[in-house]
Amino acid sequence: MAKPDKPKDGKDSFVTEITPRSQDFSKWYLDVVRRAELADYSPVKGFMVIRPYGYAIWELIQAALDKRIKASGHVNAYFPLLIPESLLNKEAEHVEGFAPQVAYVTIGGGEVLEEKLVVRPTSEAIIGTMYAKWVQSWRDLPILINQWANVVRWEKVTRPFLRTTEFLWQEGHTAHETGAEAETETLNILHMYKETVETEMAVPVVEGMKSESEKFAGALRTYSIEALMGDGRALQAGTSHNLGQNFAKAFDISFQARDKSVQHVWGTSWGMTTRLIGAAIMVHGDDSGLVLPPNIAPFQVVIVPIGRDNWRETVLPKAQEIQRELQAAGLRVTLDEREERPGWKFAEWELRGVPLRLEIGPKDIEKSAVLVARRDTREKQSLPMDGLPGQIRTLLDAIQKNLFERAVAFRDEHTQRAATYDEFKQVLAGRPGFVIAPWCGDASCEAQIKIDTQATIRNMPIGGSAPAGHCIRCDKPAVADAWFAKSY
Ligand SMILES: [Zn+2]
């Protein structure tokens, strides 16, 4: 992986190029994305280039999730990018939901195509068409397929990772004999998403069901995991849909059941995207830049040699030896050999969020020790070279744990219940975050709340007992406790 370029306008200027987080969160975010070299804008508006450092983070998230997808019995496959328009049109709600965001291919090989082709906004239509061919009997079920792919949804306002016209994701598509099985699958995936995001990315999430107005176009029910960003806005980090038999009926995915009757399958679909990288930035980052959880850090350790003039002879060999030792222990380590001042290198690797910095100079070598600095707490300590890999591993685990606990504490501090609608509005107008309040289940009431406060229902906890009391806005009997927030 290439080292970042030196700034052209003076060596220390790049750090001050980051807008302070408290001053302008949105600008801070864009500065971090650019300065840490995670992504860049492309010649096509709304599309982004994911640079090697950003892509390395994605690969680590992908590997962690792919392992879990396979361990739970799913297999990967690949379906085409282009979908005949007539297939997308088969499921009425689905086409209505996606129509405004669809891009078409109308010319191929220099000729106008007989039928327009859709650049997939999601793959239910093409996959449903194939499942209809593959499923005949209950013996063919369940089908548990996932694909890693790109999709295109035309967006008016975009922001790197959070909302881009093209994004990368995985989409799982399953078919089952019974509705109960499909519901179990939908929830199992939701739990798997929560576990992955919390364990690997140290981002706590709330699991729950979406309201009718926020569900996936064509689904029976949509569940989501929602995270709270550093500015108090929520981010939907993953969704899992119970499709019921809607797509099976539209695409005629039917099978002969155990009792010889002909039935339609029950479907699910579920996805997580490159937007997770945005979540990691906004949950953990600070005024100095990125703070990466060790599990998704392309480099968990950076070694910076310290020394005057002849450090290449005196310090570098030992630094290289330590790098090899740590790498042999399975750690991701880089050694910064460039001819820059150590202070400049420190700031740069802080900006790029490397969890641990290891400094080594002539005095450290005399003592057979190294100086280790944590990115999350900025604490420094001297560690003996003897047994270093084990000690580094322990520190990385502590950082991973601390980042999660810090994020949970922030989320809890910014989550409250509102007793009256006035209080509800006040909270959302002031310091934002999640507000939990009873809701009547009525879509027009939900819409009015959005008009009044800009907040939407993020989700409603699964399996909770029905709330006592009345809707926060209209005072009708409540059907659920809903988690409200302004969102990305
Ligand atoms: Zn209401």
Rounded to 10 deg, the angle between the 388-413 and 316-328 helix axes is: 70
Per-residue model confidence (pLDDT) at position 370: 97
Q: What is the pLDDT of residue 353?
A: 98
Mean of the per-residue pLDDT values for the chain? 94
pLDDT band at 9 (very low <50, low <70, confident <90, very high): very low
- Return the structure tokens found at 86: 């007539």
Q: What is the pLDDT of residue 110?
A: 96
Question: How many A from CA of 223 to the centre of ligand 1?
Answer: 21
Give the per-residue pLDDT at 464.
Answer: 65
User: Is the predicted pLDDT of residue 135 greater than 50, yes or no?
Assistant: yes
pLDDT score at 17? 80
Residues 138, 177: contact at Cβ < 8 Å? yes
Please check the confidence at residue 324 and state whether its pLDDT lies above 80.
yes
What was the pLDDT predicted at 312? Answer: 87
**Alpha carbon separation from 266 to 92, 97, 222, 344 (Å, rounded):** 18, 21, 14, 58
pLDDT for residue 16: 56
203 CA distance to ligand 1 middle (Å): 31
Mean pLDDT is lowest, of 43-52, 309-318, 378-387, for 309-318
CA 453 to ligand 1 centroid distance, Å: 14
How many Å lie between the centroid of ligand 1 and the Cα of residue 424?
13
State the Cα–Cα distance between residues 212 and 337, nearest whole angstrom.
Answer: 56
Looking up tokens 């809903």 gives: 482
Average pLDDT over residues 86-90: 90
Alpha carbon of 438 to ligand 1 centroid (Å): 8
Distance between Cα 471 and ligand 1 center (Å): 5
Cα(224) to ligand 1 centroid in Å equals 22
The 8-class DSSP code of residue 466 comes to: P
Q: Is the pLDDT of residue 325 over 70?
A: yes
pLDDT of residue 6 exceeding 50, the answer is no
Q: Which of 5-19, 267-281, 462-476 has the lowest mean pLDDT?
A: 5-19
Cα of 419 vs centre of ligand 1, distance in Å, is 14
Å from CA of 447 to ligand 1 middle: 10
What is d(CA 336, CA 316) in angstroms, rounded to the nearest whole number? 10
Instruction: Tell me, in angstroms, the distance from the centre of ligand 1 to residue 119's CA.
Output: 39
Mark 383-416 as b/e (b = at least 16 C-beta within 10 Å).
bebeebeebbbebbeebbeebbebbeebbeebee
Residue 476 Cα to ligand 1 midpoint, Å, equals 6
pLDDT in the model for residue 12 = 46
Cα–ligand 1 centroid distance for 459 (angstroms): 15
On the question of a cis peptide bond just before residue 142, with omega within 30 degrees of 0, the verdict is: yes
Contact 425, 320 (CB under 8 A): no
CA of 449 to the centre of ligand 1 (A): 9
Task: Tell me: pLDDT of 408 over 70.
Answer: yes
User: Once rounded to an integer, what is the mean pLDDT over residues 412-418?
Assistant: 95
Spacing, Cα 77 to ligand 1 middle (Å)? 44
pLDDT score at 97? 86
For residue 357, the CA-to-ligand 1 centroid distance in Å is 53
Q: Residue 2 — pLDDT band, cuts 50, 70, 90?
A: very low
